[in-house]
Chain A
Amino acid sequence: MESPPFKGGVGEVKLTPLIPLYKGDKLKNMTIPLIAFLYLYLLFVFIWSVFSLIALYHMMKYGQINFTTFITTFAYIAGAIIILSFSYEYLSRIDWNVGLTILQGGAGLFGVDKF
């Protein structure tokens, strides 16, 4: 990609752009598919699950079996299921094929009409 020639001084000087998105006199769009964020979220949920299992293991191994440990463990598992169910409910309605466009024209980091 070439920058427009700089006219002035002695002869013409061509500047190499730092950001290689410059094409002609317009900025090139960069689109990140939304599904990439979903994958990141799923990775987070996986890591969260691992830590949850570790916490449950600690509670069951060292917590002694009594009413308090039973209730808190049950409440945690129930709460986690509810949160994940609600998350699935909302996330399943989303069209993940849409892309997140950045550097659109001169409108800023996020295109105005994308919000």
Chain B
Amino acid sequence: MLKYRLPGALPGEKIIKILRKDLLILFGKFILTLILAGLPALVGFIMLNIYPNLWQGETSYPLIVLAVSGYVLFIWLFLFFSFIDYYLDVWLITSQRIIDIRQEGFFSRTVAELKLSQIQDVTSELKGVLKFIFRFGDVYVQTAGEVQRFTFRQIPHPEEVRDIIIKLVEENKRHHAQCEKH
């Protein structure tokens, strides 16, 4: 059984799969952070060419130190938060339901769940060159509930996930049918 603290775990419920966005998404965020981190170096290089004595000035040097320190702290927090944003967005497929946990910014967290018995249709989508090469995409789950469509965004191997959900839905239907007979 996969280890994860299930929100509102049902009796006999087992986690089948834990899904997060593809690692390429996280890699993209790291690249963006690296670019942002490199910007002060570029700006500094340009400024030193225009004002060669900038580093020795008795007022310019402290201002540069303060600005660089503040910027580096900001980038470090930005990087950490990018990771948290990636890591805390989770989809859980259990033996009885699908749970969508989304971290949106610093102060917003959404948890939505969908029972397997409410699933009507499952579609996987791989659209775009990068997604096709690296095999990540979206899975759409059509439901009979209040939320019409449940979406797994940018997950690895969406076709496999689709197959898992369909298999679980069929098992769930068989189980309910057997329970009704008895």
Contact = CB atoms under 8 A, between A and B. Distances in A.
A70 interface: no
Interface in A75-110: 76, 79-80, 83-84, 86-87, 90-91, 94-96, 98-101, 110
B62 A37 contact: yes
Contacts of A66: 3
B77 A115 contact: no
A83 B79 CA distance: 14
A83 B54 contact: no
Given A62-B88, A114-B57, A41 B76 contact: no
Nearest to B5: A64
A99 B58 CA distance: 9
Nearest to A79: B76
Contacts of A62: 88, 101, 103, 109
Contacts of B66: 37-38, 40-41, 91
Interface stretch (A10-18, A20-28, A46-54): A46-54
A72 interface: yes
A41 B83 CA distance: 26
B27 interface: no
Contacts of B9: none
Nearest to A69: B87
Nearest to A48: B73
A55 B65 contact: no
A63 B76 contact: no
Interface of B: 3-5, 51, 53-54, 57-63, 65-66, 69-70, 72-74, 76-77, 80-81, 83-84, 87-88, 101, 103, 106-107, 109
8 contacts: A34-B63, A38-B62, A41-B70, A58-B88, A64-B3, A83-B76, A91-B69, A98-B62
